[in-house]
Structure 1
């Protein structure tokens, strides 16, 4: 785990802007924005589509946006909650998808000592990569 650098703070701000601009209003307590950085420095964003039947999380939407734009090497990802909730760690499903598709990605997560950067493999201890 490491402290944030300027690129990490930029990624958090990008995700915050996405969620602030696109939140579902006062009832949008589940709205999340995400941002992912590619190896070339380009940032791709996403927002969740909350629905009672389940949803694509903001992280998965950001990953899909990056992939649809041609990015294959991703370095860092973060999700940020609306209404100033700040960075939020990925759910179990997102952790598994990140681990399977981008085992060398860093994830920005809240900790008791502030937001930190951690390898996805450290969020999925003893994980086994999916092999199609």
Structure 2
């Protein structure tokens, strides 16, 4: 568990992002309260210009895209380039859900310093992706897996 000192209290803008993710999954889920479905998670991202973009997951046994990845793709398709914050929310009031391991690695590789909203015992809190991925090996399209970069973890 992360020390609370490493977690921030969400801002009003962060809570607005949570609400967008909740709205998109509430409008898009295909599962009843106790059912499985292909669309059960919503995500929202904010870019450096303050614009928000949303997406929903597409579950598939082969590893369909998580809502976070769909929201990142939607942002890119609509001109969002510098993504600063991300959150995922479960359908039927399940609230904020932390990103899975694959999503964390994607965020770490493509969005250094991104702020990630997380559920905690104290409520929603915010951490940087580096806080969630200590000692992670970065990857780039050009160079593959990179050496540990201690500057990213300061």
* TM-score normalised over the length of structure 1: 0.96
Of 115, 132, 142 in structure 2, the residue corresponding to residue 123 of structure 1 is 132
* TM-score normalised over the length of structure 2: 0.82
Structure 1 stretches lacking a partner, 5+ long: none
Distance, in Å, in 2 between the alignment partners of 1:6 and 1:17 is: 16
Structure 2 stretches lacking a partner, 5+ long: 1-6, 142-154
Distance, in Å, in 2 between the alignment partners of 1:3 and 1:62 is: 23
Structure 2 counterpart of 1:82: 91
For the aligned residue pairs, the C-alpha RMSD in angstroms reads 1.1
* 2:18 equivalent to 1:12: yes
* 2:81 equivalent to 1:72: yes
Where relative contact order (Cα < 8 A, 6+ residues apart) is larger, the structure is: 1
Runs of 4+ deviating beyond 3 Å: none
Cα displacement (A) at 1:17 = 0.1
**Residues matched between the structures, number:** 132
